[in-house]
């Protein structure tokens, strides 16, 4: 179990990066039963008939869930706290398209949690951008509560990550590759995020509908020291970068892959209770053939545990 600390305004936050017996557990607890010192978690509750999500703060004598509603800052009196979500990944929203494995915090309505890609770790809600008098561009924004000079206000962010989850464990080794998995809505959603536990050298293979290899991504190659991308059918990796110790043998690490017209990018993602660290791509490749991607498979040189949304 790792303990991580950072500061948010007047709060010193200690994050615990492990919980639950099952990796895919999503565990909510009532605020009366959850009293960790100085911690930030996702919280949710109801106000005026609406389910709201926001940031849970707990200090020595304080405990609150701050949310936004109709451009107002609301402090919920009764709420739940997301205690456990080991499979949770803060996946970047790129190309204004939400990933297929984005988690909904209400069973009846689509409510997604988000947070800044910069220095503010507070948690907000994905909203549609407000139209101006001149134009209305269909796009999503992250609406969060921020603090300036002890005053809270609501800010809308264009660049943000969303809370995503994985639900299916896959095991691979030198003699056992995975089967081919079809991407959900490949023409609309072009982000794949996943968790993986490996010592070194894992590979994701992106393929066409007919099974033709289009792109190959190597993570943790050369004894967990490099990440690389190559186009299908090529022997040499066209793009390579140093990523020392990017994989961990004893714990799951989170990653994302995004493709758009003319390019493909790979990055490390933050897990649910990790502070803001990994928001930029580790490596990119410019190529026009990415829209043929509809399937993927994975392989590894050593015993490896993967967790995807299937």
Q: Are residues 133 and 15 in the same domain?
A: yes
Q: Are residues 223 and 269 in the same domain?
A: yes
Q: Please, what is the Cα angle at 180 between 243 and 279, to 5 degrees? A: 30
- Which of helix, strand or coil describes residue 291? helix
Q: Are residues 9 and 149 in the same domain?
A: yes
pTM: 0.88
Q: Are residues 103 and 222 in the same domain?
A: no
pLDDT, residue 278, reads: 67
Q: Cβ neighbours of residue 169 under 8 Å, at least 6 residues apart?
A: 23, 305, 306, 307
For residue 60, the number of C-alpha atoms closer than 13 Å in the C-beta half-sphere is 2
**Last residue of a domain, which of 111, 142, 163?**
163
User: How far apart (Å, rounded) are the C-alpha atoms in residues 151 and 165?
Assistant: 33
Total domains in the fold of the chain: 2
Q: Are residues 276 and 222 in the same domain?
A: yes
- Which of helix, strand or coil describes residue 292? helix
Unique residue bearing structure tokens 């297929």: 100
CB distance 180 to 308 below 8 Å: no
User: How far apart (Å, rounded) are the C-alpha atoms in residues 219 and 253?
Assistant: 11
CB distance 191 to 97 below 8 Å: yes
pLDDT, residue 68, reads: 94
Q: What is the CA radius of gyration of the chain?
A: 20
pLDDT, residue 1, reads: 35
Unique residue bearing structure tokens 């186009």: 231
Residues, the chain: 310
User: How far apart (Å, rounded) are the C-alpha atoms in residues 283 and 192?
Assistant: 15
Q: Are residues 95 and 204 in the same domain?
A: no
Q: Cα separations (Å) of 79 from 51, 70, 134, 272?
A: 10, 19, 39, 19
Q: Residue 262's CB: how many other CB atoms inside 10 A?
A: 12
Burial (0-12, 13-18, 19+ Cβ within 10 Å), 242: exposed
Structural domain boundaries enclosing 186 = 167-308
**Last residue of a domain, which of 102, 135, 163?**
163
CATH of the domain at 281: 2.60.120.200
Q: Are residues 241 and 128 in the same domain?
A: no
Which DSSP letter does residue 47 get?
Answer: E
* pLDDT tens series, the chain, 310 aa: 333 333 433 333 333 444 667 888 899 999 888 766 566 799 999 999 999 999 998 766 778 899 999 989 999 989 999 998 999 999 999 988 899 999 999 876 789 999 998 878 889 999 987 666 666 567 899 999 987 767 889 999 999 999 999 999 999 999 999 999 999 887 778 899 999 999 999 999 999 999 999 999 999 999 999 999 999 989 999 899 999 999 999 999 999 999 987 889 999 999 998 887 767 899 999 987 888 899 999 999 999 999 999 8
pLDDT, residue 137, reads: 62
The torsion of the CA quartet 18, 31, 39, 113, rounded to 10 degrees, works out to 80
Q: Are residues 50 and 91 in the same domain?
A: yes
Single out the residue of 6, 10, 7, 12 nearest to residue 150, CA to CA: 10
Q: Are residues 182 and 91 in the same domain?
A: no
Q: Are residues 191 and 296 in the same domain?
A: yes
Q: Are residues 90 and 8 in the same domain?
A: yes
**Last residue of a domain, which of 112, 147, 163?**
163
Q: Are residues 158 and 195 in the same domain?
A: no
């Amino acid at each position: 179990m790792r303990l991580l600390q950072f500061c948010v305004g007047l709060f010193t936050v200690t994050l615990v990066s492990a919980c639950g017996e099952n990796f895919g557990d999503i565990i909510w607890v009532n605020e009366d039963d959850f009293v960790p010192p100085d911690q930030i978690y996702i919280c949710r509750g109801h106000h005026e008939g609406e389910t709201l999500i926001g940031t849970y703060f707990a200090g020595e004598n304080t405990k609150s869930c701050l949310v936004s509603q109709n451009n107002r800052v609301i402090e919920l009196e009764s709420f739940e706290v997301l205690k456990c979500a080991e499979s949770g990944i803060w996946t970047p929203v790129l190309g204004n398209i939400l990933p297929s494995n984005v988690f909904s915090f209400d069973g009846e309505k689509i409510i997604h949690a988000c947070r800044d890609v910069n220095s503010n770790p507070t948690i907000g809600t994905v909203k549609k951008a407000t139209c101006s008098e001149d134009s209305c561009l269909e796009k999503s924004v992250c609406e969060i509560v921020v603090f300036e000079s002890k005053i809270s206000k609501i800010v809308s962010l264009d660049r943000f990550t969303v809370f995503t989850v994985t639900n299916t464990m896959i095991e691979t080794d030198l003699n056992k590759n995975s089967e081919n998995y079809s991407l959900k809505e490949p023409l609309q959603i072009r982000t794949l995020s996943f968790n993986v536990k490996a010592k070194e050298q894992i590979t994701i293979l992106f393929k066409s509908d007919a099974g033709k290899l289009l792109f190959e991504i190597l993570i943790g190659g050369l004894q967990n020291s490099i990440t690389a991308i190559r186009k299908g059918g090529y022997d040499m990796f066209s793009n390579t970068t140093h990523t020392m110790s990017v994989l961990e043998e004893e714990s799951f690490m989170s990653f994302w892959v995004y493709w758009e017209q003319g390019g493909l990018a790979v990055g490390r993602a933050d897990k649910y209770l990790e502070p803001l660290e990994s928001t930029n791509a580790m490596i990119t490749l410019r190529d026009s053939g990415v829209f043929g991607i509809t399937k993927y498979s994975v392989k590894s040189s050593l015993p490896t545990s993967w967790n995807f949304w299937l």
